[in-house]
Structure 1
Amino acid sequence: MKKLGLIGGTGPESTLLYYRKFVYEANKRIGDTFFPSLTIESINVYDVLTMCGRKDYEALTKYLAKAVGNLVAAGAEVVALTGNTPHIVFNELQSCTKVPLVSIIESTCAEVQTLGLKKVGLVGTRFTMEGDFFKRPFTEVGIQVVIPHADEVDYIAEKIHDELERGIIKSQTRDTFTAIIGRMYQDEGIEAIILGCTELPLLFAGTELPVKALDTVDIHIETLFKALQ
């Protein structure tokens, strides 16, 4: 298996989730005494969000490229971003990187196509929901991506920024997010909801949502195993 490099810290809780899921899934697939070699470069999620807010994508690309360089120097042969939002500069980052990057967005789009879905909902940070970078691969293959109403976007973005990125899980937040997804299912006719923030699986752990949930962490990790062979 090739060595994986993860750009983590976006945020810390999802980085822990990635590590735990990847390591134990590798152990399950390869053997009881096997644990994979990998390196994590932890960056500051709030630096990323600030640069996105300023639309300073050149600075963001340089910031992430430095992190990739550190991973490559540590021997990483394949690199992945553990957050959806940093993918806003994925193409620019890949163009200045020597090793392959594995996209969480392309992985999720491929899964939606495999499932035969034509209309999906998306929840995540404001930049992920309102930006074009996440939706583009889907629309190019005829899949409609629906985001919440403007006031719901405000609520979701605030709770991700102030709570989930800090590892704070509140039942009231979970209930409101669930209600928003339920409204999208009833009013918009979505066939599934993309959990487009890698902290969201932690919020919804043990929760049955009104519609099929697509966990971008699980989907991404499955693609990573294929890339690491």
Structure 2
Amino acid sequence: MTKIIGLIGGMSWESSAQYYRIINQEMRERLGGVHSARSLMFSVDFGEIEKLQHKGDWATLTAEMIDAAQRLERGGADFLLICTNTMHRMADEVAERISIPLLHIADPTAEEIKAAGYERVGLLGTAFTMEQDFYKGRLTDKYGLNVLVPNDADRAVVHDIIYRELVAGQVLSTSRAAYRDIIARLVERGAQAIILGCTEIMLLVQPEDSSVPLFDTTTLHAKAAVERALGNGG
């Protein structure tokens, strides 16, 4: 019997739905027939989360994530995923308050990048992910990656499209073109690959939008969860 996957979702539910789809498709592919994953999801209200993020109230957000994690542990989850890159800002605090493992979103992404032989990568995500050290620092300190982020103006565009459009399920061709241009500028600066470091970006950007490989954190995190559920990967 497979392990039970615990998912903290709703940030946004647009990407959490993709987690659910990918995890179950991957489990069916791995086990055959009509198999699916055993999972629990605690889904937060992103309207409340988004306001706290932009207020910079990370203490309240940390308490919210710990509460969600503990609910999933009490519910029987064998390990835990936070289904968003930005909220890994408090991943260490969450991990300390539960007794089940937390599968960090940056780890399967970095492992895939290293296995492919890349060292200099561009990072797209929310302003919090691109500008703060909780994510870039893990990629650099644990995996030795050289992480490039867009310039100030491009970071603002990437962030605004996530919060004004993608989390609301809006996928616009003009925004796709804007991301394509931003990716091209990162490649010009030497990026050998691009990390789609926000779980909604995979809704907008496709491999044909980049001249270098894309590493989608949503897909890689979800597939790593299946590996763990099947008894692999720790």
The bucket for the TM-score relative to the shorter chain is over 0.9
| Percentage of identical aligned residues | 32
Q: Contact (CA 8 Å) 2:26, 2:226: kept in 1 or not? A: no
Partner of 1:200: 201
Give deviations 1:8-43, integer Å, cap 9, x for gaps.
111111011010110011011012131222111111
SS in structure 1 at match of 2:42: strand
Partner of 1:165: 167
Distance 1:148 1:48 in 2: 25
Give deviations 1:73-122, integer Å, cap 9, x for gaps.
22211110111000000001100112111000122122222222110000
Q: Contact (CA 8 Å) 1:124, 1:195: kept in 2 or not? A: yes
What code does the residue aligned with 1:215 have? D
Partner of 1:11: 12
SS in structure 1 at match of 2:135: coil
Partner of 2:137: 136
Residues 13-22 or 28-37, more deviating: 28-37
Q: Contact (CA 8 Å) 2:26, 2:223: kept in 1 or not? A: no
What code does the residue aligned with 1:99 have? I
**TM-score, length-normalised on structure 2?**
0.92
State the Cα RMSD in Å: 1.4
SS in structure 2 at match of 1:107: helix
**TM-score, length-normalised on structure 1?**
0.94
C-alpha displacement of 1:205: 4.2
Give deviations 1:40-85, integer Å, cap 9, x for gaps.
1111234333333333332111101111122122221111011100
Distance 2:185 2:36 in 1: 42
C-alpha displacement of 1:218: 1.7
Residues 74-83 or 192-201, more deviating: 74-83
Distance 2:127 2:45 in 1: 17
Partner of 1:152: 154
Structure 1 segments of 4+ aligned residues over 2 angstroms from their partners: 44-58, 205-208
Q: Contact (CA 8 Å) 1:178, 1:210: kept in 2 or not? A: no
Q: Contact (CA 8 Å) 1:182, 1:211: kept in 2 or not? A: no
Q: Contact (CA 8 Å) 1:7, 1:67: kept in 2 or not? A: yes
Partner of 2:44: 43
What code does the residue aligned with 1:158 have? D
Aligned residues: 228
Q: How do 1:35-74 residues align onto structure 2 when only pairs under 5 Å count? A: 35-74=36-75
Q: Contact (CA 8 Å) 2:207, 2:213: kept in 1 or not? A: no
Report whether the alignment pairs 1:120 with 2:121. yes
Partner of 1:177: 179
Partner of 1:33: 34
C-alpha displacement of 1:206: 6.7
C-alpha displacement of 1:160: 0.5
Distance 1:3 1:11 in 2: 22
Distance 2:30 2:132 in 1: 36
